[in-house]
Amino acid sequence: MPQLRKRPEKPLGLPPSFPTFACTNRKAMALKTKVKINRITNLTDARYCSGMYVDILGFCLEKGSPHFVSPNQFQEITGWISGIDYAAEFAEEDAYTIERALAEYPGITWIESGDVDTLIQLNSLGKKLIYRVKLEELDTLLPKIELLREHEITLHVTSTNKSISIDNETIIKNLSSQLNLFLGAGITPENATLLCELPGLYGFALDSGDEIKPGLRDFDQLAAILESLELED
């Protein structure tokens, strides 16, 4: 199957200003920081994000989740994408179940889980590891810092809050100086450039477009954030 290197056609819900020109050289183009996109479920999302030069596409491989992607869906999507990393996202699955699942998803280079012990058990697989934790629970993370550093585990901070308090920003700065940290909370088109300059921050983790109704997805917020992060020529 051919490997596409084009920016996708404009998905429904994108702002009129979104460009659709071909992206023929991903390596020559970049964003101001690394970007991971969470819970990719279809080719439209994947091609759009690849065309916007993101670094990692995340796929939920946990059965029962509304965002679950089957092995066939995964191969159909990734067969048309190249030059990008893929992350397997899990919430509660144990290490044994995750290892068995990965055998059906070729090309996965990252594993994300909300359980540190599970990630440590998977360390021998040679994948890069991401520990997902809520912004509101960062205080409980402090005793685990040395363990995360020892196993080279990247942190992914999430939250449903639309803003970051000064206290939380201080904690994030402290953590990002000690660990690779993907920020997935409080990011807007207006503050994205400022937040990506936080000392030591590894990058952003953004959710893919939300479905407004079947076949219609809202990319406005995601598109605006990614456009604000594009490096000028």
User: Is 2 a member of any domain?
Assistant: no
Do the domain assignments include residue 15? no
End-to-end, the C-alpha distance of the chain in Å comes to 32
pLDDT in tens, 154-206: 999 998 777 888 788 888 888 999 999 999 999 999 999 999 998 889 999 99
Q: How confident is the model at residue 29 (pLDDT cuts 50, 70, 90)?
A: low
Is 6 part of a structural domain of the chain? no
Residue 175 CA to residue 171 CA, distance in Å, equals 6
Task: Classify residue 10: in a domain, yes or no.
Answer: no
Q: Which of 39-48, 82-91, 134-143 reaches the highest mean pLDDT?
A: 82-91
- CA torsion through residues 101, 34, 55, 49, sign: positive
Which tokens go with 142?
Answer: 């402090």
**Predicted pLDDT at 211:** 56
27 pLDDT more than 50: no
* 91: phi then psi, degrees, rounded to nearest 5: -110, -55
Mean of the pLDDT values across residues 12-21? 39
Residue 76 domain boundaries:
26-229
> Residue 120 domain-assigned?
yes
**Does residue 94 lie within any of the structural domains?**
yes
Q: Going by DSSP bridges, is the β-strand pair 153-158/203-207 parallel, antiparallel, or unpaired? A: unpaired
What DSSP string describes 9-70?
A: PPPTT--TT--------GGG--BSSEEEEE---SHHHHHHHHHTT-SEEEEE--TTSTTB--
- Residue bearing the bigger pLDDT, 194 or 21: 194
Residues 44-54 as b/e (b if ≥16 CB within 10 A, e otherwise) read: bbbbbbbbbbb
Tell me the per-residue pLDDT of 44-68, one tens digit each, with 9 for 90 and over: 889 989 999 999 999 999 999 999 9
Q: Which residue has the tokens 């550093």?
A: 149
Return d(Cα 233, Cα 126) in angstroms, integer: 36
Q: Is residue 17 part of a domain?
A: no
Residue 23 has pLDDT above 50, yes or no: no
We report the CATH number of the domain holding residue 219 as 3.20.20.70
Look at residue 24 and tell me whether its pLDDT is greater than 70.
no
pLDDT tens by residue, 203-224: 999 998 655 555 555 678 888 9
Q: Is residue 57 in some structural domain?
A: yes
Q: How many domains, in total, are found in the chain? A: 1
pLDDT tens, position by position, 100-157: 999 999 999 999 999 999 999 999 999 999 999 998 888 788 889 999 999 999 999 9
Which of 52, 42, 50, 45 lies closest to 18, judged by CA? 52
In this predicted structure, what is the pLDDT of residue 192?
A: 93
Angle at 14 between CA 28 and CA 155, to 5 degrees: 60
Q: Residue 233's pLDDT band (boundaries 50, 70, 90)?
A: low
